[in-house]
Amino acid sequence: MLFNEEGKPRNKRHYIGKIDPITGDAIYIPEYLARMEAEGRPLKIPQAVISPALTVQDIRGSTVRSYGAFYLYEHLAQQMGLLEVLREALPDYWQEVFNLSAYLVSTGDPFAYCEDWLESTEAYSVGSMASQRISELLTKITEVEREKFYHLWCSLRSEKEYLALDITSISSYSELIESVAWGYNRDGDKLPQINLCLLMGLETGYPIYQTAYNGSLNDVRTLKTTINTFGVLTGGEKLITVMDKGFFSEKNVNAMLSEKWHTDFLVAVPFTGNFATDLVKSAQKDIDTIHNTIVHGAVSLRGVTRLRQWKKNPIYAHVYYNANKAHKTREELYAKVASLRYQALEKPKDFVKNPDYTKYLIIRRSEKESSGYTVNIREDVVSAELEYVGWLVLISNCVTSAGEAIKIYRDKDVVEKGFLRLKNSLDLGRLRVHSERNMNSKLFVGFISLILLSGIHKVMAGKKLYAKMTMKKLILTLSSLKLQMVNDERILFPVTKAQREIYNAFGIKEPV
């Protein structure tokens, strides 16, 4: 190899052909073969592996785009029935919506950069998707079309499974959207916000339905409206709802038990009233036995079931105690308070007005002490904070077993994971839109993306792919599979072993 004065190689690379991804044979361009023959070094190549159509100019004018990840999204959506529902609900622009959803899954970036992504990705050919075009698309999607999609999707995915319901706040910078209201959202940001309610299947892990409500509506009204709406969408399919303690109230339970609006439910009960505290006190004496031990995954805990009356309705109250959690929390709190006390004893004057210290310590002036202060632990505060640590109370009108109830409830984290993906991975934590219609359309696109993410997550968890890679790594691995177009000829780069294993795990035939 020859080098110039700067130490860089003088020689230049020249395109001579390609490797056939199927046979592994070298395919040479005619120009290279002619040059070799002119130099007296002719190559004896079978005519079958000569590419007479491709020239250097053809190669220079070709395009190379990422293909592997979009190929997965498309075929996964076909498996789930998502593409069929999209085509029927949005026949005029389902491809644009799917492209946007795939873009969010791959990048999580704002819509403004979708055009750049499409230039480097082999996706549905829909023309320009610049910011202005996307805004126009979001405006086109009507409420009727969105509701038609939800109806079709609910009908398709309405397996008889438990549904987890939760609400999150999503902030918007816009002051022009009527359904947002000022206030601190659940993430602590002071911005206009909406409440987004999401239903997800616990067995499939798929999003089933979502709806946005005005920020001023409370969770009680949202619960009623959502369940009624879902009942209409599914044609009266019975709903079994799993809810966190934020949804617990006497009014909610009465409504769900009423003959007029009866639904099966499993809900956690907070320790702010006597119902849960009395159940814990009655179970403390005899719950800690091997006969009451329940093993769920890597966690073991104690659980008992009590039959109780609620407004003349029988309900099952499941009481749990997690000794490991209680011990760990106690040790962490003891260590924290002991550390705070040690620091306060060293320099009490520095912490006398610090709320982090005065929450657990009483720091007072005292002439009897050399430091001028006394430092004592607020034993009552520590005891109160630890009183119900490790305890959990669930009530249900349909789940009779403590073991079954805790499994259902623990699986509810698919909702929290869904919200995290929606707000973080999909860049929907801040809605950068300026109209009600565009806001609902962007949330709709996010919902499609969440379906794709949930489908990927389900396979990765079921096939134990997380032991080898993260979801981001999986997408990056597939994104490296390229597709080259030369004079309308499709040339797929060789599929790697890692890519082949991923497609096999999803039950998808590798691209050729």
In a domain, 365, yes or no: yes
**pLDDT tens per residue, range 336-381:** 999 999 999 999 999 999 999 999 999 999 988 888 999 999 999 9
User: What number is the average pLDDT over the span 419-446?
Assistant: 65
Q: What pLDDT was estimated at residue 386? A: 95
Domain carrying residue 351: 325-386
Distance of CA 295 to the CA centre of its chain: 26
Residue whose C-alpha is closest to residue 471's, from 482, 484, 455, 483: 455
Asked whether the predicted pLDDT for residue 236 surpasses 80, the reply is no
Of the pLDDT bands very low, low, confident and very high (cuts 50, 70, 90), residue 259 is confident
pLDDT at 196: 74
**124 in any annotated domain:** no
Residue 301 three-state SS: strand
Please tell me the predicted confidence (pLDDT) of residue 178: 35
Q: Is residue 181 part of a domain?
A: no
- pLDDT tens per residue, range 386-409: 999 999 999 999 999 999 999 888
Query: Quick check: is 426 in a domain?
Result: no
Q: How far apart are CA 439 and CA 466, in angstroms?
A: 34
In contact, 169 and 184? CB cutoff 8 Å: no
Q: Residue 175: what pLDDT?
A: 35
Residues of the chain with pLDDT > 70: what percent? Answer: 75
pLDDT tens digits, one per residue of 441-479: 888 998 999 899 889 988 998 899 989 999 889 999 999
Question: pLDDT at residue 151 above 80?
Answer: yes
Token duo for residue 272: 């702010």
* Rounded Cα gap, residues 469 and 476, in angstroms: 10
Task: State the pLDDT at residue 448.
Answer: 93
The pTM assigned to this predicted structure is 0.69
| Residue at 420 is within a domain | no
Does some domain include residue 373?
Answer: yes
Buried b (16+ CB within 10 A) or exposed e, 396-432: bbebeebeebbbbbebbebbebbbebbbebbbbbebe
Residue 18: its pLDDT value, please?
Answer: 65
Beta-carbon neighbour count of residue 216 at 10 Å?
A: 12
Residue 257 has pLDDT above 50, yes or no: yes
pLDDT value at residue 111: 83
Number of separate domains in the chain = 2
pLDDT at 224 over 80: no
Final residue before a domain boundary, out of 61, 77, 96? 61
Domain stops at, among 46, 61, 76: 61
Identify the domain boundary among 31, 61, 91.
61
The yes-or-no verdict on residue 24 having pLDDT over 70 is: no
Q: What confidence tens digit (pLDDT) does each residue in 174-217 have?
A: 333 233 333 334 444 444 466 677 788 877 888 888 887 764 44
Residue 463 domain flag: no
Amino acid 107: pLDDT: 87
Average pLDDT for the chain: 81
In this model, does residue 66 exceed pLDDT 90? yes
Q: Residue 214: inside a domain, yes or no? A: no
% of the chain surpassing 90 pLDDT: 44
